[in-house]
Structure 1
Amino acid sequence: MKSFERIRFPFPLLFLLFVLSSGLLHAQTHTLSGKVTDEKNRQPLAFVNVVINEGLQGCITDIDGKYEISASEAITKISFSSIGYEPVTLVIEPNQRRCNIALKPTTFELGEVTVEAGENPAHRIIDSLLRHRKANNPNSLDSYRYNIYDQMVITIDSSDFGKALAYDMATDMTNLQMFDSILKKNNLMVMETASEVLFMAPDRNLQNVLGTKIAGMKEPTFIYLVNSMQSISFYEETINVTGTDYVNPISRGSKNHYFFTLESVNPIGQGDSLYVISFHPFKGSNFNGLRGSMTVNSDGWALQSVKAEPDKQEGLFTASIQQLYQKVEGQWFPKQLNTNLKFPSMVVDIDGIAFPMVAIGKSYLTDITINPEVSKKQFSDIEILVDPEAAFRDEDFWAGRRIDTLSDRIRATYAFVDSLTRGNDLIDKALVWTEKLVNQSAVPLGPIDLNLGNMINISGQRGLFFGLGASTNDRFSRFISFSSYFGYWTRLKRLDFGAGANMYLNRQRQMELGVYYGRRSHPIGEFGGLQERYSLLSESDYKYSIYENIHARGTRFDLNFATRFARHFKVFVNLNTSHRNYNAQFFHLPSDSLTEARFTQAEVKLRFAYKEKFLSTINGLQSLGTTYPVVWLSYMHAFPYLGSHYEYDRFKFEVSKNFYTPYMGVSKIILQAGYATEGCPVMETFNILGSYDRFGLYSPGSFGTMRLDEFFCDRFVALYLSHNFSGMLWKTDSEWFKPELVLITNLGWGDMPRTRAYPDKNFKTMEKGYYESGFVVKGLLNLPLVKVGLGAFYRYGPYSFDNVWNNFAFKWSATFTM
C-alpha cells in the first residue's frame, strides 16, 4: 500500500491562497442596494417586496425604505411591489451597484374574493402562524434586554404638495414656494430618545430612559416614547395602537372575523419563502379591527414584517404602525418599529390651502440579548425611569446611541427650529402649557398657575360659578406651593373662598403634607372622595358637580398627608374640623333635626392598585395604569372634641374594573358599599347619589332615575354595570356620525334599622332593593373633542312609580376625547 506524505504549505503561500479565495468569492457575489420612497410624499416605504432576476431570490425593505440584496449570479432585473402601489420592474446595468426607486400610489381596496376548489390558501399560512405564535412571541421568553433609539419628526402631509405647488406657480403666489423650499431641506420638529429595556417573565418591564432631546427646548422636561404608541409584539390577542386595543388578525378565531388574501410568495433561499398576506375585517364587521399586510417567513413560521392601521379611524388623529423582525440567537425579535400619526384637524394653512400635520416616529432596537440573567430586584412599580441627566446629554452620548449619523435633513431641522427659538423659550412654554392644561386643568403664567376649575363651574343646585383661582408652581418652589381661590355662585348667591399650602416631601413616593382653610357649600351624606383627581370634563364626575345635593354651608380647616408605600398602596390621612349650617332637614325624630353642627373628624383612605405601573421623572410619578381592579377603603371617626358633640364611625368601600372583550367591547363594573354607626346624624349617613332629571346629563356611577335626597341609609351596597359596544353594532364611514351603544344596569340596597319604627320619617331607605336599566348611544354627533349622544333609563321594582311616565329619565351624554 502506497503511503502518502503530508504536504506542507509555507505560511506566505497559505495567506495568498486565502486572499485569492476571498477575491474569487467576492468576484462571484453581486450586490445591489438602494432606497424605495413614495412618489407622492417623498417618505421612505417600509416592507416593499424586492425580487431579482426571475424571482429566484428576494428581500424586503426596512423601515427606512432601504434594501440590500446579494446573489451569486449577475443581477439583470429587479422588481418592486407593495400593496397600494403600482409594481415596477427595472433592468440593471452590468456595473450598477445602486438602484433607488419611487413607487406611485394607486387606489387600492382589499376586496373579498371567492376562492375556488377548497380553502383560502392564506389560511394555511395563518394556521402555521398560530401554531408557532407562542414560540415566536418575545414575551414568552424568560427574559430579554435591548437598547432602543426613538426618533420622531413632525412635518406636514405633502401628498398633494406638488399639485398645489403647480397651482401656486401658475398664480404667482409665493408663500407655498417658500414653504416648499423649507420642506425640501428640513422638517418642522425633531425629537430623539435613547433607552435601555429589560424584561422578565411574565410581565415585569423596565425602560431606563438615558437621553432625550427636543429641537428648540432650552430646559427639557418633556419626554415622548415612540415605542409606547404600539405593542412591542404582534403576537398578543390584542394589539394596542396609541392607547386603543384592537383584535389581532393572528389571534384565536381570527379567521371567522378577518379576510386574508395571499398576495405573493417570494423565495429567499435555503428552501424558505416569504408569504405576503393582506388582511382586513369582513365587510359589515363592527369590532375594533386592523387592516394591512404581513410578511411571513417559513423559517419558523414567524412574522418578518407587519404594516397595519385601525380599520376605523376616529379621534384627533389617524394612526398606522409598521414592525420589522429579525432572528437573534435563534429567536425572532422586533428590529424596527414605526408609528405614523396624521392630524386632519390640525392643519397648516398656506395661501388658503390646508395641509394636515403628521408625526413620523421610528424606533430601532439594538444589542438584543435573549434570556439574560435578571432578578426580580431589578424591577419595581416604576416601568419607565427617566435619568435625571437625560435631557442634558452631549453629542458624544448621542453619537453612540444613534443607529447612523444624523441625516442632513435632521441636522437642518435642529438648526431651523433652534433659529426660530433663539432668544426665547417658545417650545418650552408650549409643552408646559399643554401638559398643565391636559393633566391639571391649569394655565401657567410664570411661577403662577391659573386653575381653570376655579374660574368657571356649573352645578345643578348652585348655578354658575365665576371666580379666580391660582397656585404657585415649580418655578416658584419645587418643595412648597401656595394656592387660593374665590368665586360667586349665581343661584346660591353666595361667595366661596379658600387658601392652602402643600409641601412635597418626596415626589418619588408622592409624599405630600398640606393645610387648607375655606368657606364653601358642600353636599350632605356624600359618598365621594374615593379618587385622586376630579375633572369638570369627565363624565364620571358630572354627578359630583351637576347633581350635587347641596344642603350645607360652612367653614372647614383640613390637615392632609399622603404617600405611596408597599408598592401597590397609597394612603391618605385627613384631620379636619368644620362648622356646618343646614338649609334642609332630614330626620326620623324631630330631635334628630339639625340646623347647624360642628364636627371634628379623622379619616384614613387606602388605595390599592395591584401592579400599577408608573413613569418616574425628576418631577415625580405619573401613573401608567393597571389591568387589575382598583380598590378604595376609607375609615372615618368623628370625635366629640373642639366643640363637636358627635362621635361615630363611617366606612366606605369601592372597587372598579374595566374589561375588554374582543368582538364585544368594553364592560365596566363599579361596586360601592358604606356603613355608618348609629351615632351618625341622618344627614351625615349616606345620601344615595341620584342624577335624575327629565332630560339630564348622563353620569356613570350614579342612579339616573333616582331623585336627589330620595334615599338615606347608614348601610348600603350599590352595583353599577355598563357595557360599551364601541361602535360594533353600527358601521359608518361618516366623520360626524359614529354611534356607540352603551347598555347600563344599576342595582342598590340600603337600610337604616334605627328608623324602622318611624314610618313618618321624611326620607326613604332602600331595604326593598332599587333597580334601573337603560341605554345611551354615544357619538350621534362626533366632534373633534367631544362625542354627544342620547339615551333613556327606566326604573322598576319595589320603588317604581305608579305613573309609568315618572319611571323614565331621558339623558344626553358628553364624552370628551382629549
Structure 2
Amino acid sequence: MIKHLVIVLLLLTAVTGRAQTPKRALDSITKVERDSIRKAEFLQNIGVGYFPTKYWNFDLRHLVKFNQFEGFRTGVGGITNEAFSEKYRVNGYVVYGFKDKEVKYSIGGGVRLHEGSGTWLNATYTDDLQETGSSGFLTDKRFFTFFEPRLLNIDLFHRKITKSLSLEHRISNHLLSETEVAVSRINPTYNYNFDLNGELFNTFALSTATVSLQWSPFSQFEMVDKRVDEVVDGFPKFTLQYTKGFADVFNADFNFGKVDFRTIHQFSLGEDSITNLTLVGGLAGGEIPLTHLYHAYPNNINKDTILQRFSVAGLNSFETMYFNEFFSDRFMTFQFKHFLRPFNISDWFKPQLVLISRHALGNMRSRDRHIGIPFETLEQLYSESGFEINKLIFGFGLSFAYRYGSYHLPVFEDNFAFKFTFNLSL
C-alpha cells in the first residue's frame, strides 16, 4: 500500500510541476522546438541544392557552371514550395553562357492529382543545351554537388527545344514511375549530318514517349509529414527505361526505340568500408542520330601531356577515355569501387583510399550514317583501373587511372590520367 501511495505522489508531483511551469518557459521550449524544425528543413533543402525562402526555393545548380562550349554559365532558377501551394507548383530557370553569348531557359508547372501516391502531372518548355551521347533516367533522384566534374571538359552539345508533359506516380513505396511525352527540335552545335537513305539532316524534329521505372526492393520507407521518405537506403536498386520515337507525329523525322537499364549494388565489409558495383546498359535501334546514342561517360581531355590533361575526376566516368572517342548504339559498362576505411590520422585529417576498376563494351550498326564526327566503337573490352585518395584538404583529393587491354594506346603516357577529386557534397 505504501509503495502504491509513493508512486501516486510521484506522479502527482510530476504533473503538478509540469502544470506550474511558467508560461515563458513553455514559450521558450516551443520556440526552441520550432527553430530546430526550421533548421532541419533548411539543411534538408540545402542538401538537395535548394536555398529556401518563404514561397520560393532557389535552385543552387544554376548559379555558376563551366564547360568548354559556353564557358562560364550563370543564372537563377528554382521552384515554389509547399507554403505557396501543396497542390500546385511552378518551376523554371534562366541562364547565360558567356562564351557562346546565348540565353537558355526553362519554365514549367505541375498539379498534384493524388496525394497518397505522389501523383503529379507536369508541363515544361525548355530551350537549353544537352551533351551529345548522354542518357539519363527520368526517375533519378535529385543529386547536388557544388559543381559537376565532367561538365568542365565537355565540348559536344546540341541545342534542344522541348515541350513535354510528364506524369510522376508512386506505384508502391518500392516502385516509382515517370512517363513523359515530348516534342523536341534538335540543332547540333557542331558539324554533323545524319544520313537517312541519302537525305542529310543537320537539324531534326523528334516526337518521343518515355516510360521509366525505379525499383528499390530492399529500401525501407516511413510516412513523415504526409510524405513518404526513404529511411533505409537498401541495395540493390534497379532502373529500367524505354523511349520510343515516332516519325510523322507532330512532323517528327525519325522512328526509333531505346532501352536503358541500370543496377547499383552496395554492401559493407566492415566499419566505414564499402564496396559499390554499378552496371549500366543501353540498346538503341532504328533511325536514331548521334545526339541520342551513347557514349560511355568519358572524362579525358584531348591534350598531349599528362599535366595538360590534369583536371577534375568524375564520380562515375572513365578517366582515361577521351571525349568523343567512342560512340555506340548498344553498350554496357561495369564499375567496381571499394572505399577503404578512412585513415584516422587526426580529428580533422581523415583521407580515404578508393580502389577503382571500370570496363566497357559497345558496338554500332550503320556507322556511315553519321557524317562529320570521327569516332570509334567498343567491340572489344575497354578497361581502366586506378585509385583515389579523397578528402586530403577541404574535400579535395587526387585520382590516378591507367588504361590497359584492347584499347591500350601506343604512346605509353597517353594511357595515364592524373587528376584531382572533389567530394564535398551537401
Say whether residues 1:737 and 2:358 are aligned partners.
no
Q: Following the alignment from structure 1 to structure 2, what is the Cα–Cα distance between the partners of residues 611 and 779?
A: 30
Residue in structure 1 matching 2:231, options 624, 629, 633: 624
Aligned ranges 1:169-180 → 2 under 5 Å: none
Q: Following the alignment from structure 2 to structure 1, what is the Cα–Cα distance between the partners of residues 16 and 340?
A: 46
Against the structure 1 CA distance between its residues 595 and 585, is the aligned structure 2 distance closer, same or farther, given a 3 Å change threshold? same
Instruction: Give 1:173's aligned residue.
Output: none
Q: Following the alignment from structure 2 to structure 1, what is the Cα–Cα distance between the partners of residues 136 and 120?
A: 21
Q: Following the alignment from structure 1 to structure 2, what is the Cα–Cα distance between the partners of residues 413 and 726?
A: 50
Aligned ranges 1:226-375 → 2 under 5 Å: none
Against the structure 1 CA distance between its residues 758 and 433, is the aligned structure 2 distance closer, same or farther, given a 3 Å change threshold? closer
Instruction: Give 2:321's aligned residue.
Output: 706
Secondary structure of residue in 2 paired with 1:435: helix
Q: Following the alignment from structure 1 to structure 2, what is the Cα–Cα distance between the partners of residues 485 and 759?
A: 34
Aligned ranges 1:723-762 → 2 under 5 Å: 723-727=338-342, 730-732=343-345, 734-755=346-367, 762=374
- Report the structure number with the largest CA radius of gyration: 1
**1:724 offset after TM fit, Å?**
0.8
Aligned ranges 1:507-518 → 2 under 5 Å: 507-518=115-126
Unaligned runs of 5+ in 1: 1-21, 27-401
Secondary structure of residue in 2 paired with 1:534: coil
Q: Does the CA-based 8 Å contact 1:635-1:652 persist in structure 2?
A: yes
Residue in structure 2 matching 1:656, options 248, 264, 287: 264
**1:494 offset after TM fit, Å?**
1.4
**1:747 offset after TM fit, Å?**
0.2
Residue in structure 2 matching 1:466, options 70, 74, 92: 74
Secondary structure of residue in 2 paired with 1:713: coil
Q: Following the alignment from structure 1 to structure 2, what is the Cα–Cα distance between the partners of residues 760 and 487?
A: 29
Aligned ranges 1:444-459 → 2 under 5 Å: 444-459=52-67
Secondary structure of residue in 1 paired with 2:322: coil
Q: Which of the pair has the greater relative contact order for Cα pairs under 8 Å at 6+ separation?
A: 2
Aligned ranges 1:143-162 → 2 under 5 Å: none
Deviations 1:657-707 (A, max 9, x none): 111112682111110111111321233211221111422222232111111
**1:639 offset after TM fit, Å?**
0.5
Secondary structure of residue in 2 paired with 1:805: helix
**1:509 offset after TM fit, Å?**
1.7
Q: Following the alignment from structure 1 to structure 2, what is the Cα–Cα distance between the partners of residues 757 and 555?
A: 24
Q: Does the CA-based 8 Å contact 1:456-1:465 persist in structure 2?
A: yes
**1:534 offset after TM fit, Å?**
3.4
Deviations 1:415-455 (A, max 9, x none): 44724987xx766644443332224x222222222222233
Residue in structure 1 matching 2:47, options 438, 443, 468: 438
Instruction: Give 1:638's aligned residue.
Output: 245
Say whether residues 1:568 and 2:177 are aligned partners.
no
Residue in structure 1 matching 2:27, options 396, 418, 425: 418
- The percent identity for this pair of structures is 22
Q: Does the CA-based 8 Å contact 1:698-1:813 persist in structure 2?
A: yes
Secondary structure of residue in 2 paired with 1:652: strand
Q: Does the CA-based 8 Å contact 2:144-2:425 persist in structure 1?
A: no
Say whether residues 1:612 and 2:227 are aligned partners.
no
Deviations 1:173-196 (A, max 9, x none): xxxxxxxxxxxxxxxxxxxxxxxx
Instruction: Give 2:332's aligned residue.
Output: 717
Residue in structure 2 matching 1:799, options 366, 384, 407: 407
Residue in structure 2 matching 1:774, options 386, 402, 406: 386
Q: How many residues align?
A: 407
Q: Following the alignment from structure 1 to structure 2, what is the Cα–Cα distance between the partners of residues 485 and 665?
A: 39
**1:460 offset after TM fit, Å?**
4.7
Q: Following the alignment from structure 1 to structure 2, what is the Cα–Cα distance between the partners of residues 446 and 812?
A: 38
Deviations 1:467-512 (A, max 9, x none): 1213222112110011222111223321111110011223332211
**1:554 offset after TM fit, Å?**
3.1
Against the structure 1 CA distance between its residues 407 and 691, is the aligned structure 2 distance closer, same or farther, given a 3 Å change threshold? farther
Q: Does the CA-based 8 Å contact 1:678-1:754 persist in structure 2?
A: no
Secondary structure of residue in 2 paired with 1:672: strand
Letter in 2 for 1:752: M
**1:815 offset after TM fit, Å?**
1.3
Q: Does the CA-based 8 Å contact 2:117-2:172 persist in structure 1?
A: no
Aligned ranges 1:96-245 → 2 under 5 Å: none
Secondary structure of residue in 1 paired with 2:45: helix
Instruction: Give 2:304's aligned residue.
Output: none
Against the structure 1 CA distance between its residues 431 and 673, is the aligned structure 2 distance closer, same or farther, given a 3 Å change threshold? closer
Against the structure 1 CA distance between its residues 757 and 415, is the aligned structure 2 distance closer, same or farther, given a 3 Å change threshold? closer
Q: Following the alignment from structure 2 to structure 1, what is the Cα–Cα distance between the partners of residues 50 and 315?
A: 25
Letter in 2 for 1:660: S
**1:757 offset after TM fit, Å?**
11
Say whether residues 1:525 and 2:137 are aligned partners.
no
Query: What root-mean-square deviation, in Å, do the aligned CA atoms of Structure 1 and Structure 2 show?
Result: 3.3
Say whether residues 1:555 and 2:161 are aligned partners.
yes
Instruction: Give 2:275's aligned residue.
Output: 667
Q: Following the alignment from structure 1 to structure 2, what is the Cα–Cα distance between the partners of residues 486 and 758?
A: 32
Q: Does the CA-based 8 Å contact 2:327-2:376 persist in structure 1?
A: yes
Q: Does the CA-based 8 Å contact 1:586-1:762 persist in structure 2?
A: no
Q: Following the alignment from structure 2 to structure 1, what is the Cα–Cα distance between the partners of residues 356 and 375?
A: 26
Q: Following the alignment from structure 1 to structure 2, what is the Cα–Cα distance between the partners of residues 428 and 662?
A: 33
Q: Does the CA-based 8 Å contact 2:106-2:126 persist in structure 1?
A: yes
Against the structure 1 CA distance between its residues 493 and 435, is the aligned structure 2 distance closer, same or farther, given a 3 Å change threshold? same
Q: Following the alignment from structure 2 to structure 1, what is the Cα–Cα distance between the partners of residues 243 and 60?
A: 31
Letter in 2 for 1:725: L
Against the structure 1 CA distance between its residues 418 and 760, is the aligned structure 2 distance closer, same or farther, given a 3 Å change threshold? closer
Q: Following the alignment from structure 1 to structure 2, what is the Cα–Cα distance between the partners of residues 621 and 426?
A: 23
**1:413 offset after TM fit, Å?**
10
Q: Does the CA-based 8 Å contact 1:499-1:517 persist in structure 2?
A: yes
Instruction: Give 2:8's aligned residue.
Output: none
Instruction: Give 2:207's aligned residue.
Output: 600
**1:583 offset after TM fit, Å?**
1.6
Aligned ranges 1:57-72 → 2 under 5 Å: none
TM-score normalised to the size of structure 2? 0.85
Q: Does the CA-based 8 Å contact 1:530-1:632 persist in structure 2?
A: no
Unaligned runs of 5+ in 2: 4-10, 302-308
Instruction: Give 2:420's aligned residue.
Output: 812
